[in-house]
Amino acid sequence: MAPVRTLDDRAVKLFIALAAFFCVNTVLAEFIGVKIFALEDTLGIAPLQWNLFGQTGSLSFTVGTLLWPFVFILTDTVNEFFGKRGVRYISWIAVALIVYGFVFAFLAIAAAPAGWWVTAAADQGVPDYQAAFAAIFGQGMWSIAGSIVAFLVGQLIDVVVFHRIRAATGERWVWLRATGSTAVSQLVDSFIVIYIAFVLGPQQWPTSLFLAVSSVNYAYKMLAAVAMIPLLYLMRHGIRRYLGEARERQLRAEAAAD
């Protein structure tokens, strides 16, 4: 029998697909995260007038938080089948791609705009296209640093907690190791990114605003993580059918021993 070529190996194809979706979600979340949206206005309901740490008003989130639950699911799936090394590997790739993306965003901002292009959208309410482009893609260095540090620290914590729960419970309770690792890692992530970007950064948010926004974002991430548990089981079922039960058990055994 002829040996199976590397790219014909279904486990290799699976890892490439998971890594690709993980990285594109991570990078995209960083770039669209500059927009802050109001939850109640988006849902078409009256403001909830929440009061948290002395801060009141509508619930506000970065748009990037909408993608993070998918990052959690992908992280847990890679953890489940490819272990610590798999998660660390794709996490470092994602960080490199985030830095790469922001470097070229700044180069794009620095490129001299065509004169006609600057006013091309004036009739749409954008009098200066260059200024709008710079504002959207030129996130401050504090925001970039906060995002990268928080993401990397969160991922490294996630993989450790995930495997400690797995070691304690065996192959039972997939939902517990998934949500447990997310609960710990995102508690750190949610507060680090906002602290570096908005407290240490030039905006210098007061402690009350920092705690309020961080808490709301963390609560959303956890609710979303719990709501997506069925998707985690659905992905596991799909992977088992794709790989075959024997190959699936082999990968999970290797990941647990990693």
Distance (Å, whole) CA 153 – CA 167? 22
pLDDT at 140: 65
User: Does the pLDDT of residue 223 top 70, yes or no?
Assistant: yes
Rounded to 10 degrees, the C-alpha dihedral 238/242/247/249 comes to 10
Query: Looking at residue 175, what is its pLDDT?
Result: 79
Residue 222 pLDDT exceeds 80: yes
pLDDT at 19 over 90: yes
Q: How far is CA 43 from CA 223, 234, 257, in A?
A: 17, 28, 45
Question: What mean pLDDT value characterizes the chain?
Answer: 84
Distance CA 138, CA 173 (A): 43
Question: What is the structure's pLDDT at 15?
Answer: 95
| Amino acid type, 50 | W
**Higher local confidence (pLDDT), 60 or 251:** 251
Higher-pLDDT residue of 208, 129: 129
CA distance 143 to 64: 13
pLDDT score recorded for residue 17: 95
Model confidence pLDDT, tens digit, residues 196-209:
777 876 677 788 88
Q: Above 90 in pLDDT, residue 189?
A: no
- Per-residue pLDDT at 116: 92
CA separation for the pair 108, 47 (Å, rounded): 38
- State yes or no: pLDDT of 1 exceeds 70: no
The residue with greater pLDDT, 204 or 107, is 107
H/E element, 37: strand 36-38
Task: Please tell me whether residue 60 adopts helix, strand or coil conformation.
Answer: strand
Confidence of residue 228 (pLDDT cuts 50, 70, 90): confident
Between 105 and 6, whose confidence is greater?
A: 105
pLDDT at residue 110, rounded to an integer: 92
What is the C-alpha to C-alpha distance for residues 99 and 121, in angstroms, rounded to an integer?
A: 29
Confidence bin at 2 (pLDDT 50/70/90): low
pLDDT digits over 39-98, tens only?
Answer: 788 888 887 777 777 667 677 777 888 888 888 889 889 988 998 899 899 999 999 998
Cβ proximity of 256 and 85 under 8 Å: no
Residue 111 has pLDDT above 90, yes or no: yes
Mean pLDDT in residue range 148-173: 82
* Whole-number pLDDT of residue 55: 67
Q: In whole angstroms, what is the distance from residue 181 CA to residue 18 CA? A: 19
pLDDT given at position 31:
83
